[in-house]
Structures are given as C-alpha cells and as structure tokens.
Structure 1
Amino acid sequence: MASANFRKTYFGSLGLQVVQAKPSLETALQGDILDIERLNKLCLWVRIPHAYRPLVWKVLLGTISLAKEVWPFVDAQREEQFQDLKQCVAVLSRPSSAIRPDDNLTASTMVYMLLIQLDTRSPHHLSQAFTPTSLPSLSHLHALANMMLEVCDTSESDAYWLFESFVLKYNVSLPGYGPAVDAERERIMTEMGALQNLLKAQNAPLLNHILSFGKGLDAYCYSWFRTYFANVLPPQSLEGIWDIFIGGAPGIFPYLGLSLLLACKRKIEAVRSATELVYLFTNVERVVDMDAVANTAIDLWERPVLEGMNKDLRKALGYNF
C-alpha cells in the first residue's frame, strides 16, 4: 500500500528500524521520561493498536505525567476521585433516575460527573439545579463520552479522565461556559470553510447542488465537527482519525468531511430539498462504509504532504502520481 511505504520512510527519518506499530510504540514508551514529540509523530503516521491507545492518548492529552514514576500514585488518586464523582451522580440524580454507584459507567453518567466536577456551587445549590430536565442539550458531550468508553473498554476510570482531558484541552462547550462556546463555534466555522474549499476543488457541482437549497454547509454538517465526528462514525472507524488529531493535526477533520460527502455523492445528487438533505446527513452512517470513509480521509490528508515532494522521491516511495 502506498501510504504504508510513505510511513516506512517517515519512520526511517525518526531513527526507527521497524514500521510495525507495536514495536515502535514499545520503543517510544521505554525510559523513565516519555518523549511526547516521538509519540505525536507515531500518532500521525501509524494507526495505534487498540490495546495501546488509552495509554498513548492519556500521555498526549496530559491526563498523566510524562514521568512514569508518578503513575501509580496518580492512578490511585484518580481512581478515588472517579468513585467519588460517580457516587455524587447517583446521589444527586435521585429520585429522577435509578443510577446506582455500582452500575456500569455510561456516557450520561460521565457527562454528569464532569459537570459536577467543574461546578463551583455549594452541594445544596448544586443538588437543586442538577436534574436532566434543567440542563441544555448535551448530545455533543454524550457522543464524546461514548467514544472514550469504547476506546477504554477495560477501565471506566481511564475513560472518564480521558473524556475530561479531551473536553478541557479542546475547549468543548459546556453549560455556563460562554467563552468556550465562542471558541468552539469559531473552530467549527473555520473547519467548515476548509471543507467547502476542499469540496469545491474536488467536486464543484456537488457543492453547488448542496448550496442550491439556500443554506450553507453549516446547516447540515455543524454537528459533525462539534462532536469531532463521534456522532457519525463508529468508534472503531474513528479511532485512527482521532490518533492523527490528538497527535497534533486537527486539519484531518475537513478531509473526513470531504470523504463523507464524496462517499454519499449519488445520494446527495438525488436530494431535492434542504429537509431531505438534513435527513440524509443525520442518517449518513446507513448509506456508506465508514471504515472506507476513514481510510479515504487519511489518504486525502496525506496527499498534500506527498505532493510537496519531487517526482523522483515519490516514485522511490512507490507512488505513481
């Protein structure tokens, strides 16, 4: 595969003698102090094996220290805090919910745990406000929480703390945090502008058809970018995309949007109203192969890097363009 050849050469520039992800990660994870730049580069050019992903993401998101000697202490403290937060949700949700402290962790529980953790009100005032009906829509947070649950399928505590780190690092909007909402909208509109430019270059008639119903791309695709596509792609398809994103390349998401639009091109062309288009994009997972969409997005994202190389180097790497 051409992209595999490119990654092999890239590994050589990093001083790695192997291209397999597992040996490369084991090398990167050796030593008392981890090299975050090395891990970033591995995330960009290799798909991280599922078993290693929680640890790699915890390091890159700042959930744990680069110094391994403090991990046991931090893990113990985090586990205790995790159990306390889970207990708080069980207490504050009564009698409106049947949540119990010993229940399996759910995305909803994770969201409520985070809101409790970040809330500065007294327990009395918090208990009065903490009801599902009193909270605004939290669907974007549920999608992110569910993604972390799937990634950390062996540790509920890891899933929660990765979720917390992700939300705080990337300024995901939360109820009552106005600046985060503004920053989030600015990010999304920038990414959607990039998507529109990519689609115009790849298939201008398709873009014109979408825009012909009098609405911009944000009317159809905003939630994709708000959830980092966690509400569209299943976790097993999205994990590799998030590897690249967490590794330092947020520019992957416009390419993922492009790949989705191109994958359902014929369905889009058959649409005759904005309402039909909204319905299609809301249910897009039913009409396309999401694994293929993710792989195409990665290839599209890599291509500009390759196009920066001269023809002889591309040929040496096994590419025919």
Structure 2
Amino acid sequence: MRQMSHLIEIEGTWRQNRGYLNHEFLAISTMAHIDERNFRSHYYEKVGFKGVEGKKSLEILLKEDPLDNDKLTTFCHRFPVPGIYRPFVWKIVLGVLPIHQSIHQFVLKQRREQYKDLHHALKVMRKIQDDTDLAICHRMMCQLSAGKLPLEESEDFLHPDYSDFDAMANSMIEIVDDEIDGYWLSVMFFKHMEKNKESINKLNEKFEFYLKKEDSKLYNYLLERDLLSRLPYRLWFQQCFAVVFPVPCLARVWDKVIGGACAILIFTAVSVVITYERQLFNMKTPEHVIKFLEKIPQDNADLIITKGIELWEKYGSFLKPDV
C-alpha cells in the first residue's frame, strides 16, 4: 500500500510538472510568435512597408456597415492611408459621406447637384469664367455657400477666414484627382482646420520649444540673428504645408491632421529646419531664409516627413499641442 501510495504521488508530481512544462512551452511559443510578428513589422518599417499590416486592418474596417468613424479616425493618425483608399477614408472622417454605406450613392448625387448649382450661380453672377483657376472657383463656391462672398465688383478682397483656402484647395485637387471630390474635401478640411483653430494657434510656441530641444545650437543661431521669428512656420501651420511639399508626400501629413493629430505639424516644421541646418547657418537675412524655404525640393520631402513623424512618435504621438 505504501509503495502504491508512493507511485501515485510520483505520478501526480509528474503530471503537475508536465502541465507546468506544457504551460511554459506554450508561453515560449507565444512569445516566439509575438517576437516573429514584431520582427516582421520592424523589417517592414525598415524597408518602407510600415503600412502592410495596417492596410489589411483598413480593408476589414471598410467592409463594415455602418462604418466606424472613430476607428477610421484613429487609423488615419496611426498609419499612412493607402492612396487607393485615401479619398474614400477622408470623405468618411471629414463628413463628406455618412457612415452608412447603403446611402452613399444618394448622398454623392446630392453633393454633385449642389456643386453644379454653386458653380452655375457664380457663372451667372459673372464671378468666374471658364478659365478661372479651379482652386479659386472652389473657394468662391465655399464663400457663396457660407454667405461670405463679396457681391460688389469693387469689393476686391479676400475674406480673412478664407485666406488659406486656395493653397489647401490646390493641393487637395491634386491629391484626389476629381473636381467634385476635391471641392467637398477642401471645404470639409478647411472647416476641420477652423474647428481646431485654437490648437493650431498654439503650434507656434511649441515649434520653438521642440526646435530648441532637438537642436539648441541652430535655435540660438536663429534667435540671435532675429531669423527665428521670420521662419514661415506660421504660414506652414495655417495652410497645413499646402504648396510647400509635393502632393504625394503632403498626403502623409494630412492623413494625421485629418485623423485629429495636428501636433504632427510641429515636428514636420522642426524636421524641415533641422534638415536644412547647414544652409540656414550660411544665411544672413530673413529674405534669404524665406525664399529658400518657400518650396521643399522633391528629393528631400519624403525624408523630411519621415523624420517629422519619427520625432512626433519620439515625443509620445500626442494629438494636440495642449496635451
């Protein structure tokens, strides 16, 4: 009996140890799987395919009906939106289209009719001609719709609220490559920026703060020569870098801004200035600085935006400057 009892005790211990080993093996296997996924994600990031897994997630989100606006908004500021889906995703997040996909065709038809009515009204009023720049047409249509279009011919002024619309509309038209989509996205993006005006106004001081943290030597050089306040970063923020960057690169910044992360603009500006540190050290007048930074060369744009995103992530990927 005593021997039998001893055998049972040994068997129980063996079973317990086997269970523990199985548990440990499962844990190790799981960790290995996670490490494999992390390695794969890290590899994709290094070779420029950071959005590979993100694209699959987006395709799943876009199959939902109704669509989840919150999840799409989060996706925009966490991942680059694939170009093939970008216009549609932006239309949902900005409110051009509703979340219920079953009524999209009806809403699109209404949007087209409203576009045609506004465009026709401006032609009847002789405010636009066939050769009028499309971005200007869109701005005037937006003004007319909001009741802020100057009616008198002598009133040749641009309402201050719309002073940055043309630049953003020009870039939007290129990004979406569709006249009507370009108009509605420009209008809604403009309203999105207006809604976040308080946060946008705080970007200026935050830019100087993070520039000093990242490159105090350059910061002091610009400050001592009264060049810091002459940098065009206020205009960059107001126009969301429209016209500054080539459109394919600009869209990566706008993804995050449309997703609610206007703080990305701070680090994009810091990245621009740091990238051209050597050139800025050789400039003596504000005019030279402004002229140099008017248009970012295509070959540097991707690098600058990537560095800006990395800086944003380094400081916690916060959405607004007051966070």
Q: TM-score range by the shorter chain?
A: 0.7 to 0.9
Q: Give the AA of the match of 1:268.
A: L
Distance 1:73 1:7 in 2: 42
Aligned position for 1:109? 137
Aligned in 2, Cα 1:136/1:20: closer, same or farther, shift over 3 Å?
A: same
1:165 aligns with 2:193: no
Greater Rg over alpha carbons, structure:
2
Aligned position for 1:276? 288
Report the Cα offset of residue 105 of structure 1. Answer: 7.1
Aligned position for 2:307? 296
- CA deviation vs aligned residue, 1:225-263 (integer Å, no higher than 9, x gap): 110111311211111111112112111110000110011
Aligned position for 1:12? none
Aligned in 2, Cα 1:192/1:294: closer, same or farther, shift over 3 Å?
A: same
1:148 aligns with 2:159: no
Report the Cα offset of residue 303 of structure 1. Answer: 2.0
Aligned in 2, Cα 1:49/1:236: closer, same or farther, shift over 3 Å?
A: same
3-state SS of 1:278 partner: helix
Distance 1:196 1:128 in 2: 42
Report the Cα offset of residue 269 of structure 1. Answer: 0.4
Distance 1:171 1:202 in 2: 29
Report the Cα offset of residue 23 of structure 1. Answer: 2.8
Q: Which runs of 4+ in 1 moved over 4 A?
A: 4-9, 136-139
Aligned in 2, Cα 1:68/1:266: closer, same or farther, shift over 3 Å?
A: same
CA contact (8 A) 1:256 1:293 kept: yes
Q: Give the AA of the match of 1:229.
A: F
1:134 aligns with 2:145: no
Aligned in 2, Cα 1:188/1:217: closer, same or farther, shift over 3 Å?
A: farther
Aligned position for 2:123? 90
Identical residues among aligned pairs (%):
28
2:81 to 40, 45, 48: 48
CA contact (8 A) 1:64 1:74 kept: yes
3-state SS of 1:128 partner: coil
Distance 1:271 1:140 in 2: 28
Aligned position for 2:240? 228
CA contact (8 A) 1:36 1:60 kept: yes
CA contact (8 A) 1:92 1:130 kept: no
Aligned in 2, Cα 1:289/1:80: closer, same or farther, shift over 3 Å?
A: same
3-state SS of 1:292 partner: helix
Aligned position for 1:23? 56
Report the Cα offset of residue 79 of structure 1. Answer: 0.4
Distance 1:31 1:130 in 2: 52
Distance 1:7 1:227 in 2: 37
Report the Cα offset of residue 136 of structure 1. Answer: 5.2
Aligned position for 1:255? 267
Report the Cα offset of residue 298 of structure 1. Answer: 1.1
Number of residue pairs matched by the alignment: 272
Q: Which runs of 5+ in 1 are unaligned?
A: 10-17, 173-182, 307-321
TM-score (norm 1): 0.76
Distance 1:225 1:5 in 2: 35
Distance 1:24 1:166 in 2: 24
Aligned in 2, Cα 1:63/1:26: closer, same or farther, shift over 3 Å?
A: same
Report the Cα offset of residue 139 of structure 1. Answer: 5.2
Q: Give the AA of the match of 1:166.
A: F
Q: Which runs of 5+ in 2 are unaligned?
A: 1-36, 43-50, 318-323
- CA deviation vs aligned residue, 1:25-53 (integer Å, no higher than 9, x gap): 22111122111222123222321111211
Distance 2:229 2:40 in 1: 33
Distance 1:212 1:163 in 2: 39
Report the Cα offset of residue 58 of structure 1. Answer: 0.9
TM-score (norm 2): 0.75
Distance 1:51 1:105 in 2: 26
